[in-house]
């Protein structure tokens, strides 16, 4: 007897992956505050990955441990942040926000495109202008990361508590059904 496996398209698999990670998040140990904090840190740090050239991952685990958040929840938050593509979408807005907050006017002789060949020959002007443009994006993405992590903290906390209450109701209903069955058998 063979079992036929149902094939799902890409969007169905993506939705199922979101649902699976969300259920893992809601069932992870540590309580609502620890899980929400871990998720918020992971989601917020994902906003800094592009603008920091992935160097934020060096500080990922220490930040979560120092904040006493849940590491599995922070990894799930980071993955969900990647799947939403928010860092890519928000990057142009973050650069404008960074320029608005920290207006840095730098004139370094010639403004050409970045070239590794010029850099190897000792021309650091293009590297400095590249770093200054990235600095604006880093400032903006840091602000977006803080805002989105605060929002995600409260959302995850709400859903965690709601799921906990629903789980307790289901357990109570199952135990009541078992008690009724046992009582009927004795009568």
Q: Is 53 a domain residue? A: yes
Number of domains in the chain: 1
pTM given for the model: 0.70
Domain for residue 117, yes or no?
A: no
Q: Is 107 within a domain?
A: no
- Domain-located, residue 129: no
Report yes or no on 63 lying in a domain: yes
Residue 120 maps to a domain: no
The burial of 73, by beta-carbon neighbours within 10 Å (0-12 exposed, 13-18 middle, 19 or more buried), is given as buried
Of residues 131 and 147, the one with the higher pLDDT is 147
Residue 147: which domain range? Answer: 21-96+139-186
Whether residue 32 is contained in a domain is answered as yes
Predicted pLDDT of residue 131:
59
Which positions ≥6 away from 23 have C-beta within 8 Å? none
Please tell me the distance from the alpha carbon of residue 46 to that of residue 85, in angstroms, as a whole number: 10
pLDDT of 108 strictly over 50:
no
Average pLDDT value for residue range 7-16: 84
Identify the band that residue 14 occupies on the pLDDT scale cut at 50, 70 and 90.
Answer: confident
């Amino acid at each position: 007897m063979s079992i036929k496996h149902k094939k799902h398209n890409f969007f169905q698999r993506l939705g199922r992956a979101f649902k699976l990670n969300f259920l893992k998040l809601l069932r992870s140990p540590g309580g609502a505050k620890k899980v929400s904090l871990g998720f918020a840190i992971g989601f917020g740090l994902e906003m800094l990955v592009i603008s920091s050239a992935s160097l934020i991952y060096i500080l990922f685990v220490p930040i979560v441990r120092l904040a006493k958040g849940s590491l599995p929840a922070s990894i799930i938050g980071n993955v969900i942040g990647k799947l939403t593509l928010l860092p890519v979408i928000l990057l142009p807005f973050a650069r404008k926000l960074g320029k608005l907050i920290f207006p840095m006017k730098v004139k370094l002789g010639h403004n050409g495109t970045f070239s590794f060949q010029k850099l190897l020959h000792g021309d650091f002007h293009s590297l400095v202008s590249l770093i200054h443009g990235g600095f604006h994006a880093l400032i903006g993405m840091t602000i977006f990361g803080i805002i989105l992590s605060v929002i995600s903290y409260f959302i995850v906390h709400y859903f965690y508590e709601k799921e906990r209450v629903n789980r307790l109701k289901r357990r109570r209903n199952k135990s009541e059904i078992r008690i009724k069955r046992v009582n009927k058998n004795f009568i």
